[in-house]
Amino acid sequence: MSNIGFIGLGIMGRPMAGHLIGGGHKLFVHGHGTPPKELLEKGAVACSSARDVARGADVIITMVPDTPNVEDALFGPEGVAEGLSPGKIVVDMSSISPIASKAFAKRINALGCDYLDAPVSGGDVGAKAASLTIMVGGPERAFEKVKPIFELMGKNITLVGGNGDGQTTKVANQIIVALTIEAVGEALLFASKAGADPARVRQALMGGFAASRILEVHGERMVKRNFEPGFRIALHQKDLNLALQGARSLGLSLPNTATCQELFNAAVAAGGAAWDHSAMARVLERLACHEIGQPVAAE
């Protein structure tokens, strides 16, 4: 049994923390407001600050929305850094800037501790099912110590390289996911506008080369009009900002990533920041003046 700290108990963090308790570990938790009742009933220890989490735990995990939130949790007043002692391991499972992640690692290393950036993919479904993909950057010695903890939350766990490489991999993942959501949205919109049943079209495509996890899960969301998050558009918008900022610094052009970001921007402008990212299809529908599944009027 290990003493593990978990900071950030939102849509993703809550079930991830629950799996750690289920694995027999003692958990110290901190987040906005009162920790979830189900975690406390299972034995989680509520801490008043990130500093107190770090004092009680040997491995401290952060799972918060964005780069400034990670920086605040680690280095702000009563942050993790104030509670660290040499030999502890800090693991950031948020999706943030690779450049910032490298800088955070250096600051944590200066305190005698290891740092892993370990963002995840799989959304709330993967978090609940403990089937997340976990992309890790950092020293192998720390990865091997933490891997049994990762295995309680995910299935596909890969040490990609050094600090920052996990976050770089997550940005690449988010590019693929966004472009695939856009492609699925266009395909189902085309089929619907042409008069075909988009649910049956999706079913047929699932047996062919176009099959994907996005078509399976988010295609169903589009057909059934279920845009409760999941993974909020505002968070994917943030991830594509990281991709486009990184591309500029590298002298790259990512034209289709930029297009998807504009579609997310339009969704946010329409009040959809909290929609699931599959709701990118709603913007495509507005451009077409047609909703996926809407009957086509007879000519």
Q: Using alpha carbons, select from 55, 46, 9, 10 the residue that is nearest to residue 28.
A: 46
Whole-angstrom distance, CA of residue 31 vs CA of residue 206: 40
Whole-angstrom distance, CA of residue 115 vs CA of residue 30: 19
* Residue keyed to tokens 């629950």: 18
Active site residue 128: no
Q: How many residues does the chain have?
A: 299
Whole-angstrom distance, CA of residue 2 vs CA of residue 199: 47
Q: In this structure, what DSSP letter does residue 9 have?
A: -
Q: Using alpha carbons, select from 127, 125, 128, 290 the residue that is nearest to residue 221.
A: 125
Whole-angstrom distance, CA of residue 69 vs CA of residue 120: 17
Mapped onto helix, strand or coil, the DSSP state of residue 31 is: coil
Catalytic residue (one of 145, 170, 224, 238): 170
Annotated active-site positions, please? 170
